[in-house]
Structure 1
Amino acid sequence: MRPADSVIVLDFETTGLSPDGGDRAIEIGAVRLENGLAVERFQELMYPGKKVSSFIADYTGITNSMLAKAAPCEEVMDRFADFIGGSNLVAHNASFDKRFLDSELARIDRSYSGLFSCSLLAARRIFQQAPNHQLGTLVKYVNIPSEGDFHRALFDAEMTAKVWMAMLELLQQRYQLLDIGFELIQQLNKTPKAQVNKFLQGRV
């Protein structure tokens, strides 16, 4: 069993919504958790080979002048692939980040062997009473101190890591689950919300 509290939590900022439409990554931020503690971080801007729109610049705070000084996507993603190693991966709204991770790594013929899980899907099941499950809302919902800018990759990864650990701690307390495996969270994410209690009680 690979523990759910030893993972890499990552976040991309990008030129748009879809790599299939030609969008590229412009920043990667990641936090390595080991036994629930942040032990290493990765953050780099990357030049996507084209200018970003004014909307993206306003949304992220990442300007074209900042990106002009950054290393190309290929160089940054090669370093990030080394950072990932064989770790399991977590992201908030993971389908978005996984698409960009897969696309950027495919461009340089790199890959990863770890499993991927989504903290957004987990939060919908574990924090069912939250007003919504956007990252900023969850940070407030579980009273996580936050001083920084959302929509910057490392800050979002840091906040996601803290929300992830808050969810694991709640599962440990509520269901007396001492050792939570990564695969358990993946199974939980596929469980209908109405059946979450039954699913988790069966794991005690």
Structure 2
Amino acid sequence: MDYIILDIEFNGRKFASELPMEVIEIGAVRLDASLNAVSEFSSLVKPVYFSKLNNFIKKKTGIPQDEIDVAPGFPSVIADFEAWLGDAGSFLLVTWGGEDVKRIVFDTRMHKLNETYWTGLHYFDLLKGYLRYKKVTNDVSVEAALLDLDIPAEGSAHRALDDARMTSEVFRKIFPDLDFELKQQYKDQFSNSKERRLVKNAVRTMLAQKKPQTWEALVESYLGEKIPLTDPRKAAELRDYFHSELDKKQ
């Protein structure tokens, strides 16, 4: 089996907006079963919205505006990328966090393309694997992991292919200690990390103060108007998260 080390860059927005963020660069390194790099994929992507990169993104990534202006659109790039990847059962996708797969799924949906390829494949979150390896809980960047593992950082951070190359070095270094049974598939989430953290902290408070430990009590006393629960999918997801956290604490 091959291992595909994936990294993407996506555009941000200076002010809050209902318009979506979009993938603006895809980079990937293919490692064979012996962890040798055998091929690479790299492409810029011209976004539909926020086609003019703001100063933060330009400074962070170093991507020139004139190159974005002439880049192919997402449908063309993702078709080329899927062709390069090949059969989803022939490789395991490796990412640093879960955002990369999420952004690709979101852009696939935005362009009304078939998302089955991306929602059906398995990926391994190397960030979580690294945190388990180090027995720590705070997220770290790829650059910090390289420094900690005494691996020289080469290339430009926040350029997709260079980041994929650096991530592959971390992957090689800790490969024997990774548990690939913990691979994942994309799953929609209707709540964000801030909302889940609020529920988690509320569970801790409820237990410490010996208050009733029910979902209804949590909503009434801790969530209130802090989290809108009008979407039944979000409510169900947070309720399941509440019970999961309660079980862990008890």
**TM-score bin, normalised by smaller chain:** 0.7 to 0.9
Tell me by how many angstroms 1:21 deviates. Answer: 4.8
- Map of 1:161 onto structure 2: 168
The alignment of Structure 1 onto Structure 2 pairs a total of residues equal to 171
**Judging changes above 3 Å, is the alpha-carbon distance between structure 1 residues 24 and 165 closer, same or farther for their aligned structure 2 residues?**
same
- Map of 2:37 onto structure 1: 38
Q: Structure 1 residue aligned with 2:22, among 24, 27, 31?
A: 24
Distance in 2 between residues matched to 1:110 and 1:186, nearest whole Å: 19
- Map of 2:82 onto structure 1: 81
**Judging changes above 3 Å, is the alpha-carbon distance between structure 1 residues 103 and 84 closer, same or farther for their aligned structure 2 residues?**
farther
Distance in 1 between residues matched to 2:62 and 2:116, nearest whole Å: 29
Tell me by how many angstroms 1:63 deviates. Answer: 2.6
Instruction: Tell me the SS of whatever aligns to 1:39.
Output: strand
**Judging changes above 3 Å, is the alpha-carbon distance between structure 1 residues 115 and 78 closer, same or farther for their aligned structure 2 residues?**
same
Distance in 2 between residues matched to 1:118 and 1:43, nearest whole Å: 21
Tell me by how many angstroms 1:101 deviates. Answer: 1.5
Summarize the alignment of residues 135-150 of structure 1 with structure 2, pairs less than 5 Å apart.
Answer: 135-150=142-157
Query: Is contact 1:11-1:29 (8 Å) kept?
Result: yes
Tell me by how many angstroms 1:54 deviates. Answer: 1.1
| Structure 2 residue 159 is the aligned partner of structure 1 residue 152 | yes
Query: Is contact 1:130-1:138 (8 Å) kept?
Result: no
Tell me by how many angstroms 1:104 deviates. Answer: 2.5
- Map of 2:5 onto structure 1: 9
Question: TM-score by structure 1 length?
Answer: 0.75
Kindly indicate whether structure 1 or structure 2 has the higher relative contact order, using CA contacts under 8 Å at least 6 residues apart. 1
**Judging changes above 3 Å, is the alpha-carbon distance between structure 1 residues 127 and 181 closer, same or farther for their aligned structure 2 residues?**
closer
Summarize the alignment of residues 1-204 of structure 1 with structure 2, pairs less than 5 Å apart.
Answer: 6-16=2-12, 21-35=19-33, 36-49=35-48, 50-85=51-86, 86=88, 87-93=91-97, 95-106=98-109, 107=111, 108-112=113-117, 113-128=120-135, 133-169=140-176, 171=177, 182=180, 184-186=181-183
Gaps of 5+ in 2: 185-250
Amino acid in structure 2 at the alignment position of 1:28: I
- Note the alpha carbon deviations across 1:99-150, whole angstroms, 9 max, x for none: 1121233323254242011111011000236996211011111122222110
Question: Identical aligned pairs, as a percentage?
Answer: 29
Query: Is contact 1:90-1:117 (8 Å) kept?
Result: yes
Instruction: Tell me the SS of whatever aligns to 1:48.
Output: coil
Question: TM-score by structure 2 length?
Answer: 0.62
Amino acid in structure 1 at the alignment position of 2:9: E
Query: Is contact 2:122-2:183 (8 Å) kept?
Result: no
Amino acid in structure 1 at the alignment position of 2:161: L
Distance in 2 between residues matched to 1:181 and 1:32, nearest whole Å: 20
**Judging changes above 3 Å, is the alpha-carbon distance between structure 1 residues 168 and 45 closer, same or farther for their aligned structure 2 residues?**
same
Query: Is contact 2:127-2:139 (8 Å) kept?
Result: no
Tell me by how many angstroms 1:181 deviates. Answer: 6.8
Amino acid in structure 1 at the alignment position of 2:101: K
Gaps of 5+ in 1: 172-179, 188-204
**Judging changes above 3 Å, is the alpha-carbon distance between structure 1 residues 131 and 105 closer, same or farther for their aligned structure 2 residues?**
closer
- Map of 1:177 onto structure 2: none
Amino acid in structure 2 at the alignment position of 1:40: S
Distance in 2 between residues matched to 1:130 and 1:37, nearest whole Å: 30
